[in-house]
Structures are given as C-alpha cells and as structure tokens.
Structure 1
C-alpha cells in the first residue's frame, strides 16, 4: 500500500504540471525582502492584560526578567510604516485571534480521498510557484493558512486538491500583493488542469467557508517581530525563514502555533549561527521560555537535516540559491535533538 501510494503521489506531482513565469503584464515583485509588517507573538495570554502592560510587568519582574527591557522600536518611532504607536494593540489582537485561527493537527481525519502526504506535495509545489511568481513572503504563509483552514471545514477530492491550492494562492495574492497574479496565470501554471470558471467558483466557496476572514496571524508575521527583538541581520533572518519554511509541508508541525514555529526558527538561527541567546528580551517578546521553544526547534531541525535528501525539495532548492545566500548549505545545530 505504501509503495502504491508513493507512485500515486508522484503521479499527482507530475500531473500538476510545469511552473513557468507568469503571463500577465503586471509588474512582479522583486522578491528580495525578508522584512514585513510588525505583528505579535503567540502563546497563552490573559485577555484582560494588554501587551504593553505585560512587557512593563515583565521588565520589573524579579524572576526571569531581571533587566529592563530595551525599546526595540527606538529607531523606528519616526517611521510611519512601523506604526510604533499602534504596535502593542496589534500584538494584543494577534494574541486573541491566534488560537481561533490555528487548525487542528488532526483535521485530516475528516478527509476521505486525500491525506497528509498529498498536502505536502501540494505545498511543496506551491513553494515553487510562489518563487516563480516572485511573490511576497506573506503570501506563501497566508496561502498555507487558507488551505489548512479550508480543508478543516470541507472535504475535498484528490482531483480538486490542486484547485484548492491555486485558489488559496490567488486569494492570498489579492490580499497581500500590489501586483497580484491574474486568474489566467494560475490556469497556466496548473497546466490548464482547471478553467478560469472553476478557479473563480472555488474562490467563492473558500471565502464563504472562511467567512471572508483573511486577517490572521501567520509564522511570518511573528518572525518579523522576533527578528527585531533578536537584532538579526539578513543572514540570520534567511536562516530562520528557511527553518520555518521547512516546516510548512509537514503536517505534524501543525501541532505548534505559528508563534511557536516563528520562535523556533529564530532559536535555531541563534544556535546555528552562534549569535545571541534566548535571554529575557526574547522571552518577553515571544512569551516562551527556552524550554518551551526547544521541542519545536528539535522537530524543525530534524526536518532541516532531512531536507537535502527528501523527496520534496522545493524549500531546500529555494534556499540553496545565490539569491538566498545558499543558506540551506549551512550546518544544522547537531545538538538540537529530542
């Protein structure tokens, strides 16, 4: 049965067709950015306590928080794009909605015709499509979120799984991009497996099923804030991003909230590049201790170790390119094992 499934999975991957440059005349994104909007960290939070109050209390705590917390937004107060006067309110919102937008790690049980391996093939293919279209990083993470939330609510046939994937990326692109791919681009990229009308119909089904709720926290948004707290440079950010993206196709990683995945990526970058430490600043902004981050980091590091020889290699190949500083060639911390 396993061998038969492997053959079917390969057939699905082949049938999903080529990944070529977009055909629309819109100006594509440069795709080199690793930063983004400020968001929040995850984990349990008392909804009666604002994020700023929590940080102030943490700074004055006599336990873990022995030193005053630095203002990580100090040099951005004059930058309107950083919205520093609203950033704590944004965090508080993300804290509230993260549990509501996290999918169950057992949702695949309701699916009768697809399984976690097919989901992995889909997301691996979408990583390649995302790279070809030169889309923003936010779009990839929102695409994955939309796929999982939709599959948690609706049963999908094997034939229509790729349709769900391209539709999710279409919706995410409309939400995140300035120059979004057009429907015809997704018709072409899927080797005309679906018509324009089928994609538009699935778009209506997906948006109605999700209640048009697209403003959700993803690991990428959390990473941006954690990068700032860690003071990471571009190499650091790419290493952490590679770690987190390795987790996207793996169904088992759904057991961790997006904020924990982001924190684990930053933790792996600290260990792998031997820079920084999981100090009181990181604990305050992630709301996670090193012991709480460690299990997720170990699982993520194991995926990174397997990446070069795995059957699905889109993320590994992406981060092996010059554009991404060949980050995938860097060693993974050998001591991150459970």
Structure 2
C-alpha cells in the first residue's frame, strides 16, 4: 500500500534563504503516514469548458490607474488580462479517473493535494506555486499515455511541486528536500526522469493562469482590505481538492470566489469588476452555487482539512471560521 509522508507543521519552518545548490536533506523528526484508500466512488463530471468573454480594451481604459502599484506595469495590464483569458482553456484537464488513470481515485487526489498544502506551508512557498503544481499534476495525468502505478502517484505530486517551485520561487527547495519529503522511497534519478516525462507531456508550457493571482487585481479594483482578499483566496484554495472545479476557467473561479466573499462581508457586487472581467453574477451563477456548496461542506465538516486548519490561523484572519451564507442570499 503506497503512503504519503506528512511532516509535523509545528516544527521550525525551513528558511528558503538558507537553501543553497548543495544537497541539504531535511531534518524533520516527526512524521505521520497517510495511507491511500483502496477505492472510492468517482462522481461523473459533466462540466464542459465555458467560453470566456474577453472585454475590449476601450471598455477597460478607465482601470489603468488602478494597477499603478501592482507587479504589472499599468501600461500593459489590459493586454496581460486579455492574453491570460485566451490561454485559460489550454490548462483545463479532462476527467482521467475512469479511463486514463483508472487506478487513481478522487479521494487519493484529495489526500495528495492536502499533503502538497502542508509542504507549501512548511517550505513557505508562494501560493501560486501550489496552484501551479496542482494544474501540472492534473494535466500530466490526463495527457500521459501511461497508467500511473499507485506507488508512484506521490512522486507525480512531489515532482509537480518541484517543477512549479522552480518556476515561481526565488529559492526553490532542492531535490534532496523533495526526496526526503517522500521518505527517500524514490531515487534522485527517478525524480529527474519523472520531471522530464511531465515536462514533455505538458509540452513545456508553464505559464498557467491561476485564480489566486486574479483575486489580487479584483481586490484592488474594489479597494478591499486583506480580510476580504483572504476570504476569497480561502474559497479559491478549497476548489483545489474538488476536481469538478478544475473544469472551470481560472478567471471564472477567481471572480466567483470574490463575489461570494463580497456577499459574506455584506458588500455589493462591483460594477467595475463586471466591466473588467466581462462576467456578471448571472453568468457565473453555476460556478458560484458550486463554490458556495463547497464552502458550506468545509464549514460543516467536523474533520478539519489541512486547508481549513491553515485559514483558521490568525495570520489569515481566521476566515475559515466565518459562517457561510445560504445560496439564496447570494442572488
């Protein structure tokens, strides 16, 4: 039975600034093993990619001053958003559970992503790294012609995070770190073989739009505070463990999450967001309903998931403890 190794998050965090190119194995003593389940029920996925309306630039010129202090130059923000919206559907995975990867179950996927969330917290990696790793993993499993062995499923997840960290991080953890996280059950050669296989399968495409990034822009548009932004990002992160949500374009997910967050903080929907994204609440209604259901399930679940434990912490304004509102109150 394959296992996933989880490190105790109460241990001292790794300071990435001290990570060099030399091999520095982790020194983490406490480990807990989570066993993959042998089987679980796979829900049919009827969601299909939905066309994303891209607003023309003359409708968005008034927003150019909003982005003066963002990482994007305000001169290019409109072009960046339009180009990103065009790329979104390239990175939507197909349902691989029933055919390509019949050995993998949705419950196994959930356990693996919860483990990746713990690693992201322990290494203090960017949230974009976590989102990108999940996309890379799902794309690889949906496109590869090989049926992954169960004992290598954890390797796929770890290697996807390794690739994503190389793209997003200034100081990515080295190979010895990832090997140690997997309890050294995979050789370094096998890690590098898997890396090559994943990169070839996804055609070396790593510029993947993630909803986390867009939430920052939406919060700037409404001049929102960090609590509002964090709540939207908490809802976004909950979607990572729900494969049905992977069928939605990232801009639809980000805008829907922000809509729910606005309503939970008793704010009105922003017309500026609608003009910028091209989405109205009505056009997002199926996505909003789905995300609000996931939020309710997480809040009512007595067994706290790793994502909820993360967002209960005061540094995240304890947004996971905020009571969700009924779907009927959203519209």
User: Under TM normalisation by the shorter chain, which class is it?
Assistant: 0.7 to 0.9
C-alpha distance after superposition, 1:54-106 (max 9, x if no partner) = 436xxxxxxxxxxxxx53x42653x58431111112112112211222222x2
Conservation of the 8 A alpha-carbon contact between 2:252 and 2:284: yes
Structure 1 residue 318 corresponds to structure 2 residue 326: no
Distance 1:306 1:297 in 2: 14
Change (3 A) 1:22 1:187: farther
Change (3 A) 1:152 1:28: farther
Residue 223 of structure 1 is matched in structure 2 by: 215
Structure 1 residue 90 corresponds to structure 2 residue 80: yes
Give the alignment's TM-score, normalised by structure 2.
0.81
C-alpha distance after superposition, 1:7-55 (max 9, x if no partner) = xxxx75xx211225699774179xxxxxxxxxxxx95246xxx741343
Structure 1 residue 135 corresponds to structure 2 residue 113: no
Conservation of the 8 A alpha-carbon contact between 2:129 and 2:164: yes
Residue 108 of structure 1 is matched in structure 2 by: 97
Give the alignment's TM-score, normalised by structure 1.
0.80
- How far is 1:279 from its partner? 3.5
Residue 290 of structure 2 is matched in structure 1 by: 299
Structure 1 residue 288 corresponds to structure 2 residue 296: no
Instruction: Give me the CA root mean square deviation.
Output: 2.5
Task: Return 5+ residue gaps in structure 1 as ranges.
Answer: 1-10, 30-41, 57-69
C-alpha distance after superposition, 1:284-313 (max 9, x if no partner) = 122111112222122112212222426570
Which structure features the higher share of helix residues?
A: 1
- How far is 1:206 from its partner? 0.6
Change (3 A) 1:271 1:129: same
Distance 2:263 2:180 in 1: 42
Change (3 A) 1:187 1:75: same
- How far is 1:137 from its partner? 1.1
Residue 43 of structure 2 is matched in structure 1 by: none
Task: Return 5+ residue gaps in structure 2 as ranges.
Answer: 20-49
Higher mean displacement: 198-207 or 81-90: 81-90
Change (3 A) 1:86 1:16: same
Count, aligned residues: 294
Conservation of the 8 A alpha-carbon contact between 1:123 and 1:144: yes
Conservation of the 8 A alpha-carbon contact between 2:155 and 2:186: yes
Higher RCO by CA contacts (8 Å cutoff, separation 6 or greater): 1
